[in-house]
Amino acid sequence: MRSTSITLEGFPAHPEPSAAESLQELAARTARGDRDAYAHLYEALAPIVHGIALKVLRDSAQAEEVAQEALLELWRSAGAYRPERGSVRSWICTIAHRRAVDRVRSVRASSERERRVTREEPVRSESAADEAERILESARVRHALAGLSAAQREALVLAYYGGYSQSQIAAVLGVPLGTVKTRMRDGLLRLRTAFPAG
């Protein structure tokens, strides 16, 4: 596997090593253990993965670690990718965001433990009801996103998990800005029906 440093420069719309080869084809080859295909995927996706991790963590060293973990997960679980559920980009964005959020929770939990020890206060854990509510809400969000078209889901994942602007999303996906705006508007309208105000 060739080593590639993760940077935030540019928003490549296609894998640089072979523009004609789609990310989906590269993912399929990676699932079969093709290291060259994985190297191309890595080069194409590393900037966006690092960008998501940095947006969530706001710490470059931790973002680098989380990005490497997410990209390693891409290698290990490429066989789990399903094109009908969204693009390779939105899949890796979801992996990166999940890992970054897990890291934030881990760091917070560790800091909280240290504070409790130094203050010698009793441990207060999340109640079972709070934990159950958090899990149910997370499942509702995943279910609602699954009800969107792949294009709508991809645009919203890049915007809300990746923190990209609409013009940056247009550059990443290689589509007109108006198309991105339409996908996001339509996707948000559909999500609102899944989460009625109340």
* Beta strands in 26-90, from DSSP E residues, in sequence order: none
pLDDT one-digit tens code per residue, 154-194: 888 888 777 788 888 888 888 899 999 998 888 888 888 77
- What is d(CA 181, CA 187) in angstroms, rounded to the nearest whole number? 10
Is residue 4 very low, low, confident or very high in pLDDT (cuts 50, 70, 90)?
A: very low
User: By three-state DSSP, how is residue 60 classified?
Assistant: helix
Q: Are 140 and 151 in contact (CB under 8 A)?
A: no
**Other CB atoms within 10 A of residue 25 CB:** 16
Q: How many CB atoms lie within 10 A of CB 57?
A: 21
> What are the structural domains of the chain?
14-124 (1.10.1740.10), 129-192 (1.10.10.10)
pLDDT digit string, tens, across residues 37-87: 999 999 999 999 999 999 988 888 889 999 999 999 999 999 999 888 888
Q: Which residue has the higher pLDDT, 131 or 167?
A: 167
pTM for the predicted model, two decimal places:
0.54
What is the C-alpha end-to-end distance of the chain, expressed in Å? 51
Q: How far apart are CA 141 and CA 143, in angstroms?
A: 5
